[in-house]
Amino acid sequence: DLSSLEIRKEYYEVVAGQYPDMTIIPYIIPGRTGAQMLPQDLALLAQACPNITCVKEATGNLDNMKLTRKCCGPDFQIFSGDDALVYDIMTDPEIRACGSISVMSNIVPGFMTQMVSAINQGDRDEAERLQAVLKPLLDLVVVTTTEETAFGPVLCRARNPLPLKTMMQLLGMPSGPCRPPLGKMTRQGLDKIVETMQQVHADHPDIFAPIAKFFNIDIHERIHNPDYQNGLWYAYE
């Protein structure tokens, strides 16, 4: 693993120095990179590089986010990089995130924007209402299933962006497949996505309405017709 110091010195400082007129947003996602720049180094980086004034936080660790706020100060901008935690880290007084760089906004940008705006405007009731509407979809960013094999059960974790790409393909949006080694959902994982989308659409038909209008498609038909699921999954065998 790279050390936090190496990430700061050999990557972010170099990039920020090469593009001094461009805002550089460090992306802290140890689950993907296997390494993490710590809040202390982020604060030192922000001091050294005037074009680093914010961070995309995807550690999933609230204590890390609180330390980021403490080290980097009240004016440093923290953006959520974890859709399931947007509401929590924006409303936590020790974190005070200002917004989200959201993957789910590829599908429901209006609802995500409305929730973030409601929080920033202090309309907690509206934010909580939107959070409740969005939660079933946000829970699909990562889909975990237990698959049975001839050698016993296997925990299968379909990580972002695979579930999102699958949703977009189901909805008829031109997303394309994931690049290898990311592949396809399992049948069980795809069923979870389809059932959730069907329920969300039944409860809140307006949530996918912009997609229906822009792409001229029938949402109900797209998510209920099994023909659109062909090629989106493979058996665990």
Catalytic residues: 27, 56
* Axis crossing angle, helix 124-138 with helix 109-120, rounded to the nearest 10: 150
Q: Are 100 and 83 in contact (CB under 8 A)?
A: yes
Q: Name which of 85, 13, 92 is nearest 56 in CA terms.
A: 85
Tokens of 30: 């140890």
Cα gap 122→161, rounded to integer Å: 31
Helix (H, G, I), strand (E, B) or coil at 89: helix
Identify the bridge partners of residue 215 per DSSP, sorted by sequence position. none
Q: b/e for 179-215, b at 16 or more Cβ within 10 A?
A: eeeeebbbbebbebbbebbeebbeebeebbeebbeee
- What CA–CA distance (Å, rounded) separates 177 from 166? 8
